Chains A and B, each alone.
Chain A
Amino acid sequence: MVPGADDTTMALVPVAPFLAALLAPWVKRFAHVFAGWLLALVPLSIFAALVRFIEPVAQGEVFRFHLNWIPAHAFDTISSGIDFSFYLDGLSLTFALLISGIGTIIVFYSGAYLRGHPQQGRFYSFILMFMGSMLGLVLADNVITLFVFWELTSITSFLLIGFDHMRQAARRAAIQALVVTGGGGLLMLAGLILMAGVAGDWNLSGILSRGAVVQESGLYLPILVLVLAGAFTKSAQVPFHFWLPNAMEAPTPVSAFLHSATMVKAGVYLLARLTPVLGGTPEWHVILGVFGGATLFWGALQALRHADLKQMLANTTLASLGLLVLLIGLGTEVGVMAAVVYLVAHSFYKAALFLVAGALDHETGTRDITELGGLRGAMPVTMLGAVMAAISMAGLPPAVGYIAKEEMYLGLTDGGAGQLVALLVVIAGNALMLVVGAVMAIKPFMGPLRPTPKHAHEGPLALWLGPLVLGALALAVGFVAEYAGETFFAPAASAILHAPQGDTLALVKSHVALKVNPLDPLFWLSVVTWGAGVALYLRLERIRNFLRRLAAGLGWTADTVFDAWMWGLVGLSDRVTRFWHHGRLELYLLVVFIMLAIAVNVPLLLIDGLPSFNEVPGLTFYEWSVVAIAVLGLAAVVFARPRLVAIVSLGIQGFAVALLFMLFGAPDLSFTQFMVETLSVVILALVMTRLHLDRRDARDFEDLLRDGGVALVCGLGITSLIVAVLNHPLDMRLTDFFDKTSVAIAHGHNIVNVILVDYRGLDTFGEISVVMTAGIAILALINIRTGGAQTGVGARKERDRKAAAKPAQEDGDAA
């Protein structure tokens, strides 16, 4: 056990960034340019707190932490409750270290990148919240906790992508990301709940060891599809890939963070995490292989089409995500190992290259590759970072990217025809990535110096330190490959391959090493990759032009489909609203009551048939007289022409009913009914005078027939429903329960009231909130009409009256 690591401190890891986010705007105000330095301490300390777990996790230990959230009930089918619980093993630790480590650099970097931006404090808040969500996601044990953090990443990334919210493109990209990833998240929630139900546990650490149960259940395929929907939308797999390149609208540090360790890797994390549960089946291999392969190929091609540095990088991220999904889908020990190594390699070089692109943009004013060149003298340190990262991206020794590529080829060369196809796709993808890496490292820095919008020079420390550190790491990990393999890669791969037993995890052996062996056929696969890459690089201009023409000829993309879908949705809701919300109150009421008539009558007739009215109840003469009063009141409502008489008659009828309640032993109900009837008469009368309605109800005969018919059908339906209920024996279980427990545990004799304020207190709480809100809404409506609005019932009359009185002031009144 690690000292000082209790449940609360572990919960602080994802929560601390949120707390820091609350303070960030103030920190920015008081610390000015040093805010970036100060706030970077938050992820740095999280990183430091997690470092202590490296040693035990490398030994195969796993850690569980939990705080109570919603405890389980005895009658729940799932024994564990929904807890705020966390689970730390090789996989989540690797992710958490990447997130907090790269996060430190990102926060630091954005201090310089967004220097002087009026909303910088807000930006710090957003990025810290995003980091917290990501940390929570990878550390969560409970699937509901995981889902909450998952959706939090969608929401915070929405804020980040739309940070520059005055631009329409940024807003659109933000909404697109939110709709795609948030929608996928909802599908995933359904999948996770199904999975937890089948496995009988809300905690991932428990579900992991019940993979066989899940796979044998009939719900396996729905679970798989739903979970994959979440993972694929988040990790931007084809055909949900389009939001990712658009998300480039975000400030560059956000892109660097989103693309390297966070957000898009969340889907990969989920797939890796659930491999012991869902993986290993033919469906898993095929679906992941096909989608991953397609995404890899598509992303790599798209990367070549663009000239914008960020767009190129964004599309290679697609390719990398596809590669990761493909490798996880492969599911072999070597394949998973390759996925882990590549994940780490990609995080380093992608973050570094994005930061380089940001620095170039910041210092030169452009990030169009065709406008940049010859910056080696002006920005040497940035170039060093770019070159180191690009070496890793291109998969050249000794970088960790090379090891990852060798591992991939090893994983893909021991199988059948399917793997051969995958191997070819991966080789092509890697070659295309070498091209992009080369472009990133060579084009902006080599060749003759090109004029740029700004005079280029090296940026401040914060702008070049990040890429330098990350680039150096990408190389350094290659030199200590054995150590990294045993400490990080093998435990993470084990967590993907095996379920934990108790507090330990069976470790796979790490065979990761930096070896360049010309006798090994795998090495020659690498050489083929490099050769293809160089060949492609030399023909880059022609390929780019060709791909552009192709894209222009294609006409539509997933992006346009998304737009059409969104506009269709808006149009549909517009039409639905216009259809129902036409502004004629009497038709609203008519629709409501017709629906009531259908809802009451149709099921009654279909299921039970009309109930028989068995016996005339034996009432005393005074009871009959009360009934007679009610009938008389009703008749007066129907036949009275003056509205005021009708309103008062309605009150009489209501009072008679209240009397009946009283006579038959429901004093509470009767009491309430009396008050409600009184108030309805008062308020209806007030409304009538207030709205300046005609004193008499002048309806056409057709309207009378229509309204009367609906009223009759509703009344008959309700009556037969009540008779039908009375024909059944009364179920006394609840009555008995309340009878027994009301005094004993709730200390009250008035069961009705005790139910309202104690047994069902939460319901009542909701209801009174609604009452208050409705009161405010009614008040607002009344005030709108009297506040000088020129529309609405009676307003015209008022206007006419005033106009007649003061014809000279007509114009002033209308204004």
Chain B
Amino acid sequence: MNTVIFRTIAPGLSALMIVFSVFVLLRGHNEPGGGFIGGLMAASAIAIYGIAAGVKEVRRAMVVHPVTLAGFGVVLAGCSGLLSLGYGVPFLRALWSYIPIGDTVVALSTPMMFDTGVYFVVLGAISAVALALEDEEDDD
């Protein structure tokens, strides 16, 4: 499976998948997509990169441990819910703000923040498991 062709295109493919996963995450509110799917895609990208380049290389590239990403995701999602407490509305009530930049209007919202949290949890948890399984000489 670990052919030269695969090893050559895998880094580019993974990078492309990561970019696409972010795209899918961001369009999620109005088009098919969202944090869960985006996270799965990013996790696949990590898995592919791991098979091609080795786990050590992936861990170096990710800088932080994948479980840290998952934890960050849960905290982010929780914080998006807590923000609403500052406005005197119940936990997780959606807040929206529209910021005009030039001709376009960028919609920022707590559901998007929440979705980003979901993305990180899925990415972190699945890539943690995948990497640990790929890692023959476990040095985790």
A contact residues vs B (CB 8 Å cutoff): 667-668, 671-672, 675-676, 678-679, 682-683, 686-687, 690, 746-750, 752-754, 756-758, 761-762, 764-765, 768-769, 771-772, 774-776, 778-779, 782-783, 786-787
Contacts and interface: CB of A to CB of B under 8 A. Distances in A.
A44 B51 CA distance: 68
B33 interface: yes
Given A772-B74, A772-B124, A775-B128, A758 B32 contact: no
B10 interface: no
B138 A667 contact: no
B50 to A, nearest CB: 9
Nearest to B70: A772
Nearest to B35: A757
B47 A679 contact: yes
Given A765-B92, A771-B70, A757 B114 contact: yes
Contact of B121 (A672, A772, A778): A772
A511 B63 CA distance: 80
B92 A762 contact: yes
Contacts of A769: 74
- Assign chain B's interface to a size class: 35 or more
- Interface-central residue, A671, A753, A786, by most chain B CB under 10 Å: A753
Interface string B98-137: 0000000001010110110110011011101110111000
Contacts of B34: 668, 750, 752-753, 756-757
Contacts of A782: 129, 132-133, 138
A768 B77 contact: yes
Given A761-B111, A765-B92, A690 B133 contact: yes
Contacts of A753: 28-29, 33-34, 115
B79 to A, nearest CB: 11
Interface string B34-61: 1111001101100100010000000000
Contact of B111 (A668, A675, A757): A757
B33 A675 contact: no
B30 A748 contact: yes
Contact of B33 (A671, A683, A687, A778): A671
Given A748-B30, A754-B29, A776-B67, A765 B44 contact: no
Contact of B126 (A668, A679, A756): A679
A764 B133 contact: no
Given A747-B96, A753-B29, A779 B67 contact: yes
Contacts of A786: 138
Chain A at the B interface: mostly helix, strand, loop or mixed?
helix
A683 B30 CA distance: 31
Going nearest first, the 9 A-B pairs with the smallest beta carbon separation are: A775-B125, A675-B40, A686-B133, A667-B32, A786-B138, A748-B29, A753-B34, A749-B30, A768-B121
Contact of A679 (B31, B44, B107, B111): B44
B40 A679 contact: yes
A166 B89 CA distance: 48
A748 B111 contact: yes
A754 B35 CA distance: 11
Contacts of A764: 77, 114, 118
A747 B109 contact: yes
Contact of A683 (B92, B117, B130): B130
A778 B51 CA distance: 20
A752 B111 CA distance: 13
B30 A750 contact: yes
Contacts of A750: 28-34
B124 A775 contact: yes
30 contacts: A667-B32, A668-B33, A671-B32, A676-B40, A678-B44, A682-B51, A683-B47, A683-B129, A686-B130, A746-B94, A747-B96, A748-B111, A749-B29, A749-B30, A753-B29, A753-B33, A753-B115, A754-B111, A756-B115, A757-B111, A757-B115, A762-B81, A765-B92, A768-B77, A772-B70, A772-B71, A775-B67, A776-B70, A779-B129, A783-B138
B11 interface: no
A449 to B, nearest CB: 67
Contact of B92 (A668, A679, A761, A775): A761
A704 B132 CA distance: 32
A682 B29 contact: no
A761 B81 contact: yes
A651 to B, nearest CB: 12
B138 A682 contact: no
Contacts of B31: 749-750
Contact of A668 (B37, B66, B109): B37
B84 to A, nearest CB: 10
B133 A746 contact: no
A675 B122 CA distance: 12
A771 B111 contact: no
A786 B43 CA distance: 23
A787 B29 CA distance: 43
A749 B27 CA distance: 10
A757 B121 CA distance: 14
A786 B140 CA distance: 10
Given A668-B34, A756-B36, A771-B70, A765 B125 contact: no
Contacts of A765: 74, 77-78, 81, 92, 114
Contacts of B91: 762
B19 to A, nearest CB: 16
Contacts of A746: 94, 111
B36 to A, nearest CB: 7
B132 A779 contact: yes
B30 A675 contact: no
A632 B112 CA distance: 41
A125 B125 CA distance: 39
B73 to A, nearest CB: 6
Contacts of A762: 81, 91-92
Contacts of B109: 747
Interface centre among B37, B44, B115 (most CB of A within 10 A): B37
Contacts of A679: 40, 43-44, 47, 126, 130
A769 B115 CA distance: 13
Contacts of A772: 67, 70-71, 73-74, 121, 124-125
Contacts of B121: 768, 771-772
A798 to B, nearest CB: 12
Contacts of B129: 683, 775, 778-779, 782
A778 B129 CA distance: 7
Nearest to A768: B121
B100 to A, nearest CB: 16
Contact of B41 (A675, A682, A752, A779): A675
A753 B37 CA distance: 10
Interface in B65-87: 66-67, 70-71, 73-74, 77-78, 81
